[in-house]
Amino acid sequence: MFASSALPVVLVAMLHLTLSSVATASYPDFQLLNVKQTLIGTKIPRPLQTSEHHQVSDVSETQGKWKLKLVHRDKLSSNTSATFRDHSRRFHARMQRDVKRVASLLRRLSGGGGHDGGAAYEVNDFGSDVVSGMDQGSGEYFVRIGVGSPPKSQYMVIDSGSDIVWVQCQPCNQCYRQSDPVFDPADSASYAGISCSSAVCDRIENSGCNAGRCRYEVLYGDGSYTKGTLALETLTFGRTVVKNVAIGCGHINRGMFIGAAGLLGLGAGLLGLGGGSLSLVGQLGGQTGGAFSYCLVSRGSDASGSLEFGRGAMPVGAAWVPLLRNPQAPSFYYVGLSGLGVGGIRVPVSEDIFQLTELGHGGVVMDTGTAVSRFPTLAYKALRDAFIAQTANLPRISTVSIFDTCYNLSDFVTIRVPTVSFYFSGGPILTLPASNFLIPVDDVGTFCLAFASSTSGLSIIGNIQQEGIQISFDGANGFVGFGPNVC
């Protein structure tokens, strides 16, 4: 849902899009949440069968863009145990991953500097601080691409906060289990190790050297890591072949993508989409004009989301918001946020609480790897208290995981809930679908307000709040767009 200061209220129910006045409404705005239908969505989608994996590799290509299917991790897992299929346990595992992810982001930013926004991590014999912030198991959305020549299909997690592309490689001195055979560079005609004297190696601060080859190390906040050789390799997206992409070929990898329930490792590696020069977006440069777009499919949906590259992926009719740059953390996509709204009424919070300072503190980051949006404590409490005041008719229950505002909706079929809106700097307003802020935490009717307080001045717009909305990044012109399409 989006708003413009010059347009009257218009509701398009099928698309959950709203155009409304910036002026404070004289009465709360509400929308309906179908409780029973939402609970049906807690049943895990049918995992992809072996014969279906090639369909995920399908890439639609039109002039000026190429589009990949984006799949949630629940669709990829082959684990059918009761633990994995229980929504409450999956939820708690997701929240554990989320806490680690946010802690990692805060550690990176608290470094107050460093290459690619990473804090200075201690490494053994070589390393770099190109740190993706991709904590253990926090990968939620995957694409399938070809690596090498001939291309070997691999699932890669996307991460908008990372500036590196890496994949597990043979010989694997230490690897986690993954769903596809581990990539073997010896079988690829296009694999070329990068020399220590290469300009690409120079772009990795504190890079190491072994037998004349550039070495990398990425250490994550939870102690997991990937180490290996930096190389140039060919990546294939459907019929689109991209040569000489700098990737990390990880020979020593620990702890990636393994869930709390001991799930099978899914992804072969990570596709960094951050704002730095070594991310896939940065390396594609002129080929895509720094433009990409994604649509994260809603939880419980049997459909696939999408990831598109190219100027042609920039939609007409989106609500565009300027991107802000933090020199201390160039990997991240910052946006200007001026306030929050509940029921069409702005909550009493100063715009200053969301400001990105000249020293690189605070600000608001768009992040695909964080699930739950975080706001500084004062802003979160104002949002929460306004929501509670407008939902006094719903039965409250005690805290669940990181959520302190939860309800027992087991006796309801459909409820009316106040709208929740983000007021962006410059005028655009994003009004979320109800399912993006009141979410089920079990399969029997417990729902919680899906926001949390931040222990620092940093705000994060997470993937739960982004679900179902087309998000477009126009890096060349410095804007992020919301809508107009949904998924």
230 touches 191 (CB < 8 A) = no
From the candidates 29, 129, 159, 442, which is the catalytic residue? 159
Task: Based on the residue annotation, tell me whether 187 is a catalytic residue of this protein.
Answer: no
From the candidates 74, 222, 367, 474, which is the catalytic residue? 367
Task: Based on the residue annotation, tell me whether 180 is a catalytic residue of this protein.
Answer: no
Active centre residues (catalytic): 159, 367
